[in-house]
Amino acid sequence: MSETRFHALPDGRRIAFRHAPGAGPTLVFLPGYMSDMTGSKAGAVADWTAAQGRACLRLDYSGCGESAGDFGDGTLSRWRDEVLALIASQCAGPVVLIGSSMGGWLMLLVALAIPERVDALVGIAAAPDFTDWGYSDQQKAALAAGQMVLEDNPYGPEPTPTHPGLWADGQARRLLDGPIALTCPVRLLHGQNDADVPWDISLRLAQALRSADVQVVLIKDGDHRLSRDADIALLLRTLAALP
């Protein structure tokens, strides 16, 4: 198991990451909202790459996990740039981006920034444009007015916050209303019992992508996390079968 290290950005941010060298392309795991690199799916990918002799990169966005910073300062653009900095620093060749939930939006933004380096994309309940479809008109009005929105958190005791900066940045980074100029292979896994991200988001994403090599796998009894043993086995089979 690779140890946690820290990458210093020019503005002083120190981004926690774990990098295991190996054969390429490097698999880069992008966690979801308020998640980190120690989750079960990220750990399973790291274990699988180690067994296969493959390179793997995991990281914690600023304000998350072991990375310093205030979560309230986080935005899609800020976290995208952190991922890009880690890829530039740690990955010598091509990469495969694996994005879970919000990480699925980030993987698209990262891939659009460095399309020549991305061999494939794998989304797990990918949630592009969640700042648009994921909030009511009342919540959007509050966020637009600079107010934080709190929602019930099914995964922990504390409510889930959305800060106005993240929401505004997300609204400026929406992708689903037009073509997404990515041509690499894309695999999208989505549970049809997902209470957080409607599974038709993956269908909309598949349609928007320019790539002709896009496959969507729907798991009828799958929830948002897709972290059961069978779900993780599906993810690893998907990675193993990438062209």
**Distance separating alpha carbons of residues 127 and 48, to the nearest angstrom:** 25
- Among the options 62, 196, 224, 231, which is catalytic? 224
Q: Specify the pairing of strand 186-191 against strand 214-219.
A: parallel
List 129, 194, 196, 231, catalytic entry: 194
Beta 95-100 vs 54-59: how paired, if at all? unpaired
| C-alpha distances out from residue 95 to 86, 135, 223, 238, Å | 12, 32, 27, 15
194 in catalytic set: yes
The structure tokens 């309940």 sit at 125
Query: Any catalytic annotation for residue 101?
Result: yes
Judge whether 224 counts as a catalytic residue.
Answer: yes
205's enclosing H/E stretch is helix 200-208
Q: Which of 62, 101, 163, 196 is catalytic?
A: 101
Torsion sign across C-alpha atoms 204, 118, 224, 68: negative
Both tokens assigned to 175: 């992708």
Which residues are known to be catalytic? 101, 194, 224
